[in-house]
């Protein structure tokens, strides 16, 4: 079974630490604690991972991001990626070819994934029902330390 993990982007990015670093690969851009934990989880329990960004959509780890941004789903800005663009990315990147998608995000991203018709026929949201980022981080730490996937 081929498993894809979908990680949230994050407000904290490399440019917060090193403003003049220039364009970076996705795997080096996001530096927040939640991102670090979701990535560790994905590297243990999934075959591949992508970031879901409000500006760039589905981003592979080797894709380049040119500069800092602060755009999230739900904003009323023209820079937020459209659902149509997300659907196109889903098919062009072959993300719909995985057997299962583990979406390591909260409700905001769940609404987006559902609005595009899902990613696979077996999408899972193991962090839903938490009472915030702190509880998400606790669940992820436990799963990583115990090598036990979240259901």
Which fold does the domain 3-146 belong to in CATH? Rossmann fold (3.40.50)
Cβ count near 104 (within 10 Å): 29
What digits encode the pLDDT tens for the residues 25-37?
999 999 999 999 9
Q: Across residues 107-123, what is the average pLDDT?
A: 94
pTM of the model: 0.94
How is the chain split into domains, by residue range?
Answer: 3-146
Does the pLDDT at position 124 exceed 70?
yes
Say what the pLDDT of residue 61 is: 95
What digits encode the pLDDT tens for the residues 65-103?
999 888 888 777 677 899 999 999 999 999 999 999 999
Distance between CA atoms of residues 111 and 79, nearest Å:
18
Order of strands across the sheet with 57-60?
57-60, 48-53, 3-8, 100-103, 123-124
Cβ–Cβ under 8 Å, residues 103 and 81: no
Tell me which H or E stretch contains 103: strand 100-103
């Amino acid at each position: 079974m081929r498993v894809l993990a979908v990680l949230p982007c994050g407000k904290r990015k490399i440019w917060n630490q090193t403003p003049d670093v220039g364009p970076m690969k996705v795997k080096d851009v996001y530096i927040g604690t939640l991102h670090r934990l979701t990535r560790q989880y994905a590297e243990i329990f999934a075959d591949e991972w992508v970031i879901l960004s409000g500006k760039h959509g589905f981003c592979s780890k080797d894709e380049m991001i040119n500069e800092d941004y602060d755009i999230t789903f739900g904003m009323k800005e023209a820079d937020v990626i459209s659902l149509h663009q997300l659907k196109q990315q889903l098919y062009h990147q072959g993300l719909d070819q995985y057997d299962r998608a583990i979406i390591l995000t909260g409700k905001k991203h769940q609404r987006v994934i559902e609005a595009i018709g899902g990613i696979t026929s077996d999408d899972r949201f193991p962090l839903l029902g938490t009472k915030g980022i702190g509880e998400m981080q606790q669940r992820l730490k436990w799963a990583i330390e115990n090598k036990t996937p979240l259901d």
